[in-house]
Chains A and B, each alone.
Chain A
Amino acid sequence: MKILVVDDFSTMRRIVKNLLRELGFTNLDEADDGQTAWPKLKAGDYDFLVTDWNMPGMTGIDLLKTVRANPQTANMPVLLVTAESKREQIIEAAQAGVNGYIIKPFTAATLKEKIDKIFARTSG
């Protein structure tokens, strides 16, 4: 499973990557915002996208919309990990087709739970 982790803060990318490694995912790549993430997603064979919302250049929600709009990536599971906690934003993300929404600060258990849920659903 190839996973792309997108966050403008390198520390958060490292945290998420460490947690994913703990969960047994080893094929991990990263990008610092939607603009750098999108060419990678388009070119690479990624299976899963974990992205922050608030990033310079291209935000996570725009990246999600772009992913959904492109036939090549439309079915890719996307998990938002963000400090944005307004109801309207969560609804917007849901409407844009997000598969999971985690608010920061989060725990390792929350990440595991959401990822398990996403893959149980997408494989089921």
Chain B
Amino acid sequence: MQNEQDRLELLEKAQRLIKSIESNDDLVTAELLSAISIDNEKRLFKEVGQLTRNLHDNLATFALDDQLTALTDKGIPDAKERLNYVIDMTDEAANKTLTAIEEVIPVTTEMEHKSEELYKNWNKFLSRELSLPEFKAMSAEITKYLESSCRNTKFVHEKANEIVMAQGFQDLTGQVIKKVIGLVQNVEDSLVELVKIAGAQEATMTPTKATGPKDKLEGPTVPGIVVEGAVNSQDEVDDLLSSLGF
């Protein structure tokens, strides 16, 4: 039931209906039945209208942009764009990580072989099994190894940092997915309400939940989705802040 007034009106009609049936007044009975039926239709249309409005608002909120408000029917395509962005971001992060690892493994393998070889020779040297020319060769090898070791450990460190940075996808895609979940939830809520009305479960019907814009924050910039007033790079942020005296 929509509200108290509707309930009282219906009650009043029902009481009149009972009287008209009791008094065998077919005309009034027919009129009242028709009126009640029209009320129901009206209520249904009102509910459908409200749901449509909510859905419209939700889609508009999802796009969150005056320019896009005119194109609210783009809500679902936008969700697709966002999910495609998630695929791209996870793809990029996985590839960055794998590339870094693929670059690191040959370096560490080479260092491993080299240190094994040097360790063997070093033990020979300690047990005085190394000839002078062999010792000279080993010294040269050690110098080369130490040089490459400095270079390689720095390289591995850089790659490790690249792997760390690549994990930023989890936060960004998480935010995008949360937005899509919000849209799906709103659509689901609206459909549930619609099903409740269509199924004539008015006795158990709860008032339509307000599904206004809860989340005004945009979240990550998604390629293909224009957000009015958004900057496109850190440089633009810096320019804007310096224009404000920063």
Contact B171 A85 (CB under 8 A): no
Min CB distance A14 to B, Å, is 7
Q: Which of B174, B221, B229 contacts A87 (CB 8 A)?
A: B229
Give the number of residue pairs across the A-B interface with Cβ within 8 Å.
Answer: 86
Pairwise interchain contact B165-A90, C-beta atoms closer than 8 A:
no
Contacts of B111 in A (CB 8 A): none
Residue of A nearest to B240 (CB): A90
Is B15 in the interface zone, CB < 8 Å from A?
Answer: no
Residues in B whose Cβ lies below 8 Å from that of A124:
none
Distance, CA A110 to CA B234, complexed state (A): 8
A11 to B230, CA, bound (A): 25
- Measured between alpha carbons, how far is A53 from B231 in the docked complex, in Å? 16
Q: Are A85 and B221 in contact (CB under 8 A)?
A: yes
Let me know if A69 is at the binding interface, CB within 8 A.
Answer: no
With A94-B246, A103-B234, A106-B234 known as contacts, the answer to whether A83 contacts B167 (CB < 8 A) is no
In the complex, A12 has a CB within 8 A of chain B: yes
**Interface residue A54 (Cβ < 8 Å from any Cβ of B):** yes
Q: How many angstroms from the CA of A107 to the CA of B234 in the assembled complex?
A: 10
CB-CB contacts of B208-246 with A at 8 A, as 1s and 0s?
Answer: 000000000111110000010111111001001100101
**B164 on interface, CB distance cutoff 8 Å:** yes
With A15-B168, A103-B231: A83-B244 Cβ-Cβ less than 8 Å:
no
Contact assessment for B234 and A7 in the assembled complex, using a CB-CB cutoff below 8 Å: no
| Inter-chain contacts of B164 with A (CB < 8 A) | 14-15, 18-19
Asked if residues A86 and B230 are in contact (CB atoms below 8 Å), the reply is: yes
Which residues from A are CB-within-8-Å of B174? 9
Residues of chain B with a CB closer than 8 A to A90's CB: 231, 237, 240-241
A74 at the interface (CB under 8 A from B): no
**Residues of chain A having any CB pair with chain B under 8 Å:** 7, 9, 11-12, 14-15, 18-19, 22, 53-54, 59, 83-88, 90-91, 94, 101-108, 110
